[in-house]
Chain A
Amino acid sequence: MRYLLQRLGFYLIAGWAALTLNFFLPRLMPGDPATALFARFRGRLAPEAMAALRETFGLTEAPLLQQYFTYLSHVLRGDLGISVAYFPTPVSEVIATGMLWTVFLAGTAVVVSFAIGTLLGIVAAWRRGGWIDSWLPSTLVFLGAFPYFWLAMVALYLLGFTLGWFPLGHAYGDDLTPAFTLEFMADVFRHAALPVGTVVIATLGGWLLSMRNSMITVLGSDFVNLARAKGLAPARVVLRYAARNALLPSITGFGMALGFVLGGSLLTEIVFSYPGQGYLLVQAVRNQDYPLMQGIFLVITLAVLGSNWLVDVIYMWLDPRTRGGRS
């Protein structure tokens, strides 16, 4: 428990460092969002409006340090400013909707890919040299070697456009209003199938290989041999003795993948016009929407830190050696 609190303390400090960088970096860059917004109206705004805008974006003449503390207190209250691209919606609201879709889409993809890949890795190592082991890893690595957006576009073209099995984009049909109805949920899953499927196919090989290789090492260890010698059922030897230990290195990879869920699904969301975080980020860059960009970067950073901490927790649960102390 003390270990977890220590880690938590470390992540809080890292989070604070990220917040600080997030504040100072944009202020070191030339230009500011108010000027950018002002420019978009091509002189149709009065100079007083410009001053008001600057005020809105927190670009006061106050000393930098004072701005910094104002920023910190706003962030802690969940106030990330106002979006330029979606003016005048607050950034936190814009991110909240995008994040929901991204977490659903990329989160599902990572979890499904990890679960299937790991299971296949266990089977491949157990039946080493069998048919799964002989051709599945190479096939999946081959598929994963394609640039992801190309794979996604081919899938979209063949399965979505030519065959019409899947919708071509968006998170749900335009004729539906979001509600917790069976119809709406089914539609959401239908829209998510292709993006999730392509991500799973592209990343499955990595999970399979890492689990397979770590399984093979563990299967050769003394304690697995002892488990076999004890006359335990093969399923127990493979799962409780071998896989349970072989899983540990994969968990680290899983945690990192989870952390990048919020930032890394850019290509998926662009190809499938999915209204998630990555799509928002592109909009933000296009519109020079600094507050939104800053907000998204912040969320990505926090997500990486959060999932690292989650991995620490999972690790402690899975590996008693990290718990420290004597029982």
Chain B
Amino acid sequence: MAEPLLSIRDLCVDYVTADGPVRALDRVSLDVMPGETLGIAGESGSGKSTLAQALIRVLPPPAVITGGSVVFDGLDVLALDEQGLRDLRWKRIAMVFQSSMDALNPVITVGEQLTDTLSAHGAGQQGRERAGELLELVGIPAERLTAFAHQLSGGMRQRVGIALALALEPSLVILDEPTTALDVIVERDILAEIRNLQRARGFAAVFITHDIGRMLQFSDRVAIFYAGRLVEVGPARTLADEPRHPYTRGLINAFPSVHGDMRKAASIPGSPPSLRTPPPGCRFHPRCPHAMEVCSQRQPELVQIGPRHAAACHLLISGESA
């Protein structure tokens, strides 16, 4: 098998608060292969966006990376200095933010936000021309370079966000809920756009969302997060057909399927735990329909259950079928 493009090992992120640290990401390990799309799903607060921001080290202040390693293309990301980070950011890993409504500077033009990115990485000569090409690439006429964010629709703003991300031909693009703020029609167009671009340029993508249905369609592999921990990871098709972790199953059942069999959408009872006082053992056990005694005592480790398929559940460890 090929070398992974991005390799995350035992990554921990804490939010430092007055009452002591709160662990937002707990020993997460993941790989991203060149050109593949890895989907990351989970409820709000499960650590999806924290992971995205940790990868290029733009975590907002109270959050601190407290352990583990992130290796990108042979480069130890956590050991980089400020200059090294600036070289890594955007040229190699770019990011599309959750809502481009807030991700674009309201007082300077879209064009300037594209050209400053180019010139910050020594590609300033082609400047405006290249910026125009980038806009056209995502289906916006080049004359909109002089527009400000508030003059564009939500969908166009998100397209600008994608154009920005592709400006320097990165080998990895992190999509942090790129379509959450959009209506379904625009969402479908944008996802199709991303897929086409990805096919043409061959970049890898980390696709973060809480819409598991979308994710299963869009990703090659999917990782499921719960309360800061990775609970299951595997090929999208495998997860869709036979999810092994009770939480994954709950998530998939919570979304009605448009195609395939009619089935009842069922919600998972209860709500995610507070990260300040997480339950002992498996963090999902208070909500789990299959909880056993061991679940509240020991934290389950990830176990390999198939080709590239792993889950962290005591049901799997004790050999029983879930």
B9 contacts partner chain A, Cβ-Cβ < 8 Å:
no
A212 to chain B, nearest CB (A): 15
Within 8 A of A (CB), among B72-122: 82, 85-91, 94-95, 97-99, 102-108, 116-117, 120-121
Chain B residues within 8 Å of A245, by CB: 105-107
Chain B residues within 8 Å of A297, by CB: none
Of the listed stretches B12-20, B39-47, B143-151, B266-274, chain A binds B143-151
Contact count A vs B, C-beta below 8 Å: 84
Bin the interface of chain B by size: 20 to 34
B58 contacts partner chain A, Cβ-Cβ < 8 Å:
yes
- In chain B, what residue has the closest Cβ to A227? B105
Considering only CB atoms and an 8 Å cut-off, how many residues of chain A contact the other chain?
26
Q: In this complex, which of A221, A223, A320, A321 has the most chain B Cβ atoms within 10 angstroms of its Cβ?
A: A223
The complex places the Cα of A229 from the Cα of B53 at a distance, in Å, of 9
Summarize A's interface: helix, strand, loop or mixed.
helix
The complex places the Cα of A324 from the Cα of B120 at a distance, in Å, of 31
The complex places the Cα of A266 from the Cα of B293 at a distance, in Å, of 79
B260 contacts partner chain A, Cβ-Cβ < 8 Å:
no
Q: A327–B103 contact, CB under 8 A?
A: no
Q: B86–A231 contact, CB under 8 A?
A: yes
A188 to chain B, nearest CB (A): 38
Chain A residues within 8 Å of B116, by CB: 230, 232, 236, 240
Interface string of A231-251 (1 = CB under 8 A from B): 111101000110011001000
Q: In this complex, which of A229, A236, A241, A244 has the most chain B Cβ atoms within 10 angstroms of its Cβ?
A: A229
The complex places the Cα of A229 from the Cα of B59 at a distance, in Å, of 10
- Contacts A229-B56, A230-B164, A236-B120: A326 and B102 contacting too (C-beta < 8 A)? no
The complex places the Cα of A231 from the Cα of B88 at a distance, in Å, of 8
The complex places the Cα of A100 from the Cα of B118 at a distance, in Å, of 49
Partner of A230, one of B60, B90, B148, B151: B90
Within 8 A of A (CB), among B122-157: 146-148, 150-151
Q: B58–A225 contact, CB under 8 A?
A: yes
B99 to chain A, nearest CB (A): 7
Chain A residues within 8 Å of B85, by CB: 231
Chain B residues within 8 Å of A223, by CB: 102-106
B301 to chain A, nearest CB (A): 33
The complex places the Cα of A327 from the Cα of B90 at a distance, in Å, of 29
Interface string of A274-311 (1 = CB under 8 A from B): 00000000000000000000000000000000000000
Q: A226–B103 contact, CB under 8 A?
A: yes
Chain A residues within 8 Å of B94, by CB: 229-230
- Contacts A233-B120, A320-B150: A222 and B97 contacting too (C-beta < 8 A)? yes
A319 contacts partner chain B, Cβ-Cβ < 8 Å:
yes
Chain B residues within 8 Å of A248, by CB: 107
A220 contacts partner chain B, Cβ-Cβ < 8 Å:
yes
Interface string of A77-95 (1 = CB under 8 A from B): 0000000000000000000
- In chain A, what residue has the closest Cβ to B114? A230
B68 to chain A, nearest CB (A): 20
Partner of B120, one of A230, A320, A321: A230
The complex places the Cα of A240 from the Cα of B146 at a distance, in Å, of 17
Chain A residues within 8 Å of B53, by CB: 225
A-B contact pairs, 26 of them (CB 8 A): A220-B60, A222-B103, A223-B103, A225-B58, A225-B60, A225-B103, A228-B89, A231-B90, A231-B117, A231-B120, A232-B116, A232-B117, A232-B120, A234-B82, A236-B120, A240-B105, A240-B108, A244-B107, A319-B106, A319-B107, A320-B107, A321-B106, A321-B107, A321-B148, A321-B150, A327-B151
Measured CB to CB, the residues of B under 8 A from A are: 53, 56, 58, 60, 82, 85-91, 94-95, 97-99, 102-108, 116-117, 120-121, 146-148, 150-151, 164
